[in-house]
Structure formats: structure tokens, C-alpha cells
């Protein structure tokens, strides 16, 4: 492949984000010998990214509008500190076409796609039209917004019920309505229009065929500045709650080499159709019959990127930086256009939420943090022990990602890692993951986008019953000894003896207990922090 794009080497990157993704990008910088700078808001002044960065700059108070979303101030800062590039992470400014354009105008590289690609993919109808023209399968339905109720009725009849009304400007499920028959249409049509107007300042809506209980499968792509786009295969992201993903894996339990190739080729066509460069994700709905349909494209590095990294061996942040420099894609894509996944990876998102109390936020100080280790375990954690989880930002504090030779080994390693994981002072979603690992449908890979809500509503994911399950005695012993040792250390340090604050709920993983470990706990831990 000949290189025609202008190359510019990056020596310093300003990370315009916080939490685990800021940490991830700073690590990518360090691996490449690039200086990593980061911005931080007042409550984040002692957070992990600030500790790990080569340089850190205050950007404003807690409110995102006055800190992490201040695009102009961040670009000014980048220029002032001599940063060659800005990495936006995910969320915040990452899919803001104006920000990407302002970076370009200021002579700072935006580590992401061109603003034009961001803008097209930010519009549902515009991206849908482009995909139709490029031969990418989209959900059957309209090409243009609906003129009025009569047009909606005619379109719905042509598509066939059930249908889905969507906001033309939308995304993320806002202004979306399922309609099962003609009687529901007038009310839903009016409601969808006003919801679209309120959410997006644009009341245009259009119609699609409603896909029943599909999976959410997405393809990771990378594009370089010479227009070369490659696929890194799929991620299965069906396990979500209110459009928040909870568990992701690669490969999908139902995607084989043939379907992977077809979905990958469609994703490459999608990216090429909008002049895409850098890392991006093409989202598809995959129905029970194996048909897939373009949904939208996420024009950023995603939360769940590590599962792709673990099954491909590709460092996505490294590739992002390379292509932003105008270089061609690095190994293995210097020699291969295509790589098949090796083994299986699963990511769980550790949220500071109480999964058995309606996912209420659980802010607080992380009094104790022990991250799991061992074969096949990776933690992308955004907090340190002693750190505060506030209510100002996203409640995701850490990601636990495991790899195994196959899905069975990955699940076993995930369970082992969840037992080891200790995060005290806040409640987390960890017990939910242990429950999921005991669910027959999850174990069999029978997933769809409504599964988690369905099982939660039906009470099918109870916290693992502590007494009912076996636990290897040696693990109980080790756990008791560790807890005992820790209490001794804390006593020596003159701090609280490991008791929780009154009224503070136990946190972290609910562990398997046998008579053995109960006895061990009573004796060695004395009702302390081991919970
Ligand atoms: C759909 C659908 C079923 N049929 N479109 C939700 C968010 C937005 N990105 C698109 N979404 C959906 N569109 C048709 N024609 C079901 C969803 C959907 C969904 C999609 C992906 C991941 C999670 C989801 C949860 C609920 C609904």
C-alpha cells in the first residue's frame, strides 16, 4: 500500500476525558513514547488519570458543561502546551463534529474521524440514506421523514406491522415508538413527533419494520488516511439495560466465519461511504433468522473496545494514533486485510450502582480496592483505592475483561475474577454478573436486547445464594487469610479496623460461602470487611 497522506508525528497528546478511558489512552501514549497530558475538573483533581499523566491541567468545576465539554478552552490549552493532538475518548466531545472541525482549524490533530463523517453518522435519516445507496443492508422502511399522519399510515401498511417510529435526528432510543397496528398509529405518531422536537429540536420522524427480539452485534473498523478500511470482527452487545450496555463479548456466540465476513464487508462499505478514518463501530441488529441490518455508526473508540483487543491482539489506541499521524495501519494490517478472532473475551462494566435496588446510584469513597489478577484477566479501572465516586459523571468505575481459549473458559475465568474483585465503600453491579454467570440462557449464549430487562423484571437473576454453592476450601482459606492480614495492616496503620461506616451497605462481590468459609470468616475476619 503506497502512502499518499501527509504524515505528522505526534509527540504529545492532550486527553480530553476522565476516568478509565483517560487512563486507557494515557497508557497508549506511554507505550508509544508519547507525552500524555490530561484535563481535569475540580472533583477529579486527585483522580487516577491526573496521577498517571505526564501533565495535568484544571479545566473547570464539576459540571461537564463548564469543564470536559469546553471545546474551545480545551483546544486553546492544547495549543498552549504544545500538544500535537487531542484524544477525546468516548462521550463528552468525541462525537461533536464542530469540535473536530475546530481542532483542524487550530492545527491540532483530532484523534478520530473527519468532522464530515461524524456529522453524517450523527443523523439517522442521512446515514440511513447513505447506507442504502452504498448497498449496506438497513432495516426495511422509509428513506425520508414522514410528511404527515396519512403518509405514516400508508408507509406502515406498506412495511407491515409491527413498525417502529424513530426520530430522524435521533439516536439512543429517544423518540422511538413501537406500533403494533393501525389503531395505535395516530397517538404514537403525535407523541413521537413532540418527543423528537423536545429531544433534538427537530420533529421529523420516519418508519421502519420492527425487528422482534434481535441481537445487537457491532463491527469494529479501522480506517487510515489513505482510505483503507479494515474490519476487526464483531462484538455481541445484547446484554443491556435502558440502552446502557452491561456485558459485551467477542466473538458473538452466534456469528461464524461466514456471517462475520458478510457483516465485516458491510461495515467496511459503510465506513468507506462516508470517508471514514480512525476507529469506528458499525452497529447492526441481527435477527433470529440471521439477517442483519445497519442501525447506526459510533464514530469514536467505544467502552467495549477491549474485548476486540483481546481476541485480535490489536492495540486500538495505538492504531488510532498511527492513523491520526497519517501513517498506514500497523501490524497485522500491514500484511493482512482480515484477521479471525482467537479465543473468547467477555467484558463486564462495574457500575457504582445497586443492582438489587433498581440500579440506584451508589456514590462514595472506595475504601478498599483489590482488582483480580491471574491468567486471562484485564482491568481497565478508572479509580484508585481512596478515590471518590461522585454523582457528577457516568457511574461506570471500572471494566473487568477476561480472555479464554473458548467461551466456557472465559466464563470460568470471569467468575474467578469476580470472586477476587473487592471494591468496598460503594455498591457495584458485581453481584449481578455472578448471577448472570449462573443463568442457563446466558451460559448457552441465548441473548437478545430485551433479555436483561426481562430476567430482572421476572426476578430470574437473584444474588447468588451464599450458602447453596460449593467453594474450594483453599480459596476460602486464602480469602480469610488475606482479610485477616489486611485488618492487621490497617490496625498497624492506626486507621479504622475495617468496619464499615454505620448504615453503609456491604459492597462489591457477594461471594460463595460454605460452612467452611463462614467459620473462617467468623474466626479470622471477625465480621469485618469481608462481605
Ligand atoms: C430498533 C429496534 C427494533 N426494530 N429498530 C434502540 C436504540 C437505537 N440505536 C435503535 N434501537 C432499536 N432500534 C427496529 N426497527 C430495537 C432497538 C433497540 C435496541 C437496539 C440496540 C441495542 C439495544 C436496544 C434496546 C432496545 C431497543
- Amino acid 375: pLDDT: 98
Residue tagged 473458548 (cell numbers):
406
- Amino acid 511: pLDDT: 40
CA of 59 to the centre of ligand 1 (A): 36
Instruction: Tell the residue nearest (CA) to atom 9 of ligand 1.
Output: 172
> 332 preceded by cis ω (within 30°)?
yes
Question: What would the grid cell of residue 362 be?
Answer: 451508589
- Amino acid 475: pLDDT: 62
Low-confidence ranges of the chain (pLDDT < 50): 1, 467-473, 495-531
- Amino acid 57: pLDDT: 98
What is the 8-class DSSP label of residue 99?
H
- Amino acid 294: pLDDT: 98
Tell me the per-residue pLDDT of 245-287, one tens digit each, with 9 for 90 and over: 999 999 999 999 999 999 999 999 999 999 999 999 999 999 9
CA distance 131 to 517: 57
Rg over alpha carbons for the chain, rounded to the nearest Å, is 24
- Amino acid 5: pLDDT: 64
CA of 215 to the centre of ligand 1 (A): 9
Tell me the per-residue pLDDT of 285-318, one tens digit each, with 9 for 90 and over: 999 999 999 999 999 999 999 999 999 999 999 9
Find out whether 316 and 249 touch, Cβ atoms under 8 Å.
Answer: no
CA distance 388 to 366: 6
> 251 preceded by cis ω (within 30°)?
yes
Burial of 490 (0-12, 13-18, 19+ CB in 10 A): middle
CA distance 271 to 280: 8
Burial of 503 (0-12, 13-18, 19+ CB in 10 A): exposed
CA of 450 to the centre of ligand 1 (A): 10
CA of 213 to the centre of ligand 1 (A): 9
- Amino acid 491: pLDDT: 64
CA of 245 to the centre of ligand 1 (A): 12
- Amino acid 493: pLDDT: 59
CA distance 271 to 299: 10
Residue tagged 437478545 (cell numbers):
448
Residue 229 Ramachandran class (φ > 0 left, ψ -120 to 50 alpha, else beta)? beta
Instruction: Tell the residue nearest (CA) to atom 10 of ligand 1.
Output: 173
What angle do the packed helices 149-159 and 185-200 form, to 10 degrees? 110
Give the global pTM.
0.88
CA distance 307 to 340: 14
The reply to whether 80 belongs to the active site is: no
- Mutational test site, ligand 1, from 285, 291, 454, max ligand atoms within 8 Å of CB: 285
Instruction: Tell the residue nearest (CA) to atom 12 of ligand 1.
Output: 173
Helix (H, G, I), strand (E, B) or coil at 14: strand
Tell me the per-residue pLDDT of 162-206, one tens digit each, with 9 for 90 and over: 999 999 887 767 779 999 999 999 999 999 999 999 988 999 999
- Amino acid 78: pLDDT: 98
- Mutational test site, ligand 1, from 192, 205, 295, 299, max ligand atoms within 8 Å of CB: 295
CA of 126 to the centre of ligand 1 (A): 18
Helix (H, G, I), strand (E, B) or coil at 285: strand
Q: Which of 300, 511, 512, 521 is catalytic?
A: 300
Instruction: Tell the residue nearest (CA) to atom 3 of ligand 1.
Output: 211
CA of 178 to the centre of ligand 1 (A): 10
Instruction: Tell the residue nearest (CA) to atom 16 of ligand 1.
Output: 211
- Amino acid 174: pLDDT: 78
- HEC per residue, 289-343: CCCEEEEEEECCCCCCHHHHHHHHCCCHHHHHHHHHCCCCCCCCCCCCCECCCCC
Q: Which atom of ligand 1 is nearest to 139's Cα?
A: 15
Q: What angle do CA 410, 415, 417 make, to 5 degrees?
A: 90
CA distance 96 to 198: 20
Q: Which atom of ligand 1 is nearest to 283's Cα?
A: 21
Which of 37, 20, 446 minimizes the C-alpha distance to 239? 446
Burial of 141 (0-12, 13-18, 19+ CB in 10 A): buried
CA of 173 to the centre of ligand 1 (A): 7
CA distance 137 to 421: 42
Instruction: Tell the residue nearest (CA) to atom 6 of ligand 1.
Output: 173
Tell me the pairing of strands 396-404 and 344-351: antiparallel
Instruction: Tell the residue nearest (CA) to atom 14 of ligand 1.
Output: 210
Residue tagged 488475606 (cell numbers):
482
What is the 8-class DSSP label of residue 44?
G
Instruction: Tell the residue nearest (CA) to atom 21 of ligand 1.
Output: 216
Q: Which atom of ligand 1 is nearest to 141's Cα?
A: 15
CA of 306 to the centre of ligand 1 (A): 23
- Amino acid 481: pLDDT: 66
Segment 156-159 long-range contacts (CB within 8 Å, at least 24 positions apart): 156/182, 156/185, 156/207, 157/182, 159/207, 159/208, 159/209
Helix (H, G, I), strand (E, B) or coil at 179: strand
Residue tagged 473458559 (cell numbers):
409
- Amino acid 521: pLDDT: 38
Which of 124, 138, 116, 129 minimizes the C-alpha distance to 278? 116
Instruction: Tell the residue nearest (CA) to atom 26 of ligand 1.
Output: 449
Pocket around ligand 1 at a 6 A CB cut-off: 139, 164, 171-173, 208-211, 216, 240, 243, 285, 295-296, 449
Which of 427, 347, 431, 429 minimizes the C-alpha distance to 389? 427
Q: Which atom of ligand 1 is nearest to 296's Cα?
A: 9
CA distance 338 to 335: 9
> 162 preceded by cis ω (within 30°)?
yes
CA distance 321 to 302: 15
Amino acid at each position: 500500500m503506497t502512502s499518499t497522506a501527509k504524515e505528522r508525528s505526534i509527540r504529545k497528546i492532550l486527553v480530553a476525558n476522565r476516568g478509565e478511558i483517560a487512563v486507557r489512552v494515557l497508557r497508549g501514549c506511554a507505550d508509544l513514547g508519547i507525552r500524555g497530558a490530561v484535563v481535569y475538573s475540580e472533583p477529579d483533581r486527585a483522580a487516577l488519570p491526573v496521577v498517571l499523566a505526564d501533565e495535568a491541567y484544571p479545566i473547570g468545576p464539576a459540571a461537564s458543561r463548564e469543564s470536559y465539554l469546553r471545546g474551545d478552552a480545551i483546544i486553546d490549552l492544547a495549543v498552549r502546551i504544545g500538544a500535537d493532538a487531542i484524544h477525546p475518548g468516548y462521550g463528552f466531545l468525541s462525537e461533536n463534529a464542530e469540535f473536530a472541525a475546530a481542532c483542524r482549524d487550530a492545527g491540532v490533530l483530532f484523534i478520530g474521524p473527519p468532522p464530515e463523517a461524524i456529522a453524517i453518522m450523527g443523523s439517522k435519516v442521512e446515514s440511513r440514506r447513505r447506507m442504502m445507496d452504498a448497498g449496506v443492508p438497513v432495516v426495511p422502511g422509509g428513506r425520508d421523514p414522514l410528511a404527515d399522519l396519512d403518509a405514516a399510515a400508508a408507509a406502515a401498511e406498506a412495511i407491515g406491522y409491527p413498525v417502529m417510529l424513530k426520530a430522524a435526528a435521533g439516536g439512543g432510543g429517544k423518540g422511538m415508538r413501537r406500533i403494533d397496528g393501525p389503531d395505535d398509529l395516530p397517538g404514537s405518531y403525535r407523541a413521537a413527533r413532540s418527543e423528537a422536537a423536545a429531544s433534538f429540536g427537530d420533529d421529523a420522524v420516519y418508519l421502519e419494520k420492527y425487528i422482534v427480539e434481535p441481537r445487537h452485534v457491532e463491527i469494529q473498523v479501522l480506517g487510515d488516511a489513505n482510505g483503507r478500511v479494515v474490519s476487526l470482527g464483531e462484538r455481541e452487545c445484547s446484554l443491556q439495560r435502558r440502552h446502557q450496555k452491561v456485558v459485551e463479548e467477542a466473538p458473538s456466540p452466534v456469528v461464524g466465519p461466514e456471517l462475520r465476513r458478510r457483516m465485516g464487508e458491510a461495515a467496511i462499505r459503510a465506513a468507506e461511504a462516508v470517508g471514514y478514518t480512525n476507529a469506528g463501530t458499525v452497529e447492526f441488529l441481527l435477527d433470529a433468522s440471521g439477517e442483519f441490518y445497519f442501525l447506526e455508526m459510533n464514530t469514536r473508540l467505544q467502552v467495549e473496545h477491549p474485548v476486540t483487543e483481546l481476541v485480535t491482539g490489536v492495540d486500538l489506541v495505538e492504531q488510532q494514533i498511527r492513523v491520526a499521524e497519517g501513517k498506514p495501519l500497523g501490524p497485522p494490517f500491514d500484511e493482512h486485510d482480515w484477521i479471525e478472532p482467537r479465543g473468547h473475551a467477555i467484558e463486564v462494566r462495574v457500575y457504582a450502582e445497586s443492582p438489587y435496588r433498581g440500579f440506584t446510584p451508589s456514590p462514595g469513597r472506595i475504601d478498599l480496592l483489590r482488582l483480580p489478577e491471574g491468567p486471562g484477566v484485564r482491568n481497565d479501572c478508572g479509580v484508585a483505592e481512596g478515590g471518590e465516586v461522585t454523582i457528577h459523571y457516568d457511574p461506570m468505575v471500572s471494566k473487568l475483561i477476561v480472555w479464554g481459549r473458548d467461551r466456557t473458559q472465559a466464563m470460568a475465568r470471569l467468575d474467578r475474577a469476580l470472586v477476587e474483585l473487592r471494591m468496598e465503600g460503594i455498591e457495584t453491579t458485581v453481584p449481578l454478573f455472578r448471577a448472570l454467570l449462573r443463568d442457563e440462557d446466558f451460559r448457552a449464549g441465548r441473548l437478545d436486547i430485551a433479555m436483561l430487562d426481562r430476567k430482572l423484571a421476572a426476578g430470574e437473576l437473584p444474588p447468588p445464594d451464599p450458602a447453596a454453592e460449593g467453594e474450594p476450601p483453599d480459596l476460602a482459606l486464602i480469602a480469610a487469610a488475606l482479610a485477616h492480614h489486611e485488618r492487621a495492616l490497617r490496625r498497624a496503620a492506626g486507621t479504622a479496623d475495617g468496619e464499615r461506616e454505620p448504615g453503609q451497605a456491604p459492597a462489591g462481590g457477594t461471594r460463595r460461602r460454605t460452612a467452611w468459609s463462614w467459620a473462617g470468616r467468623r474466626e479470622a475476619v471477625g465480621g469485618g470487611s469481608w462481605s
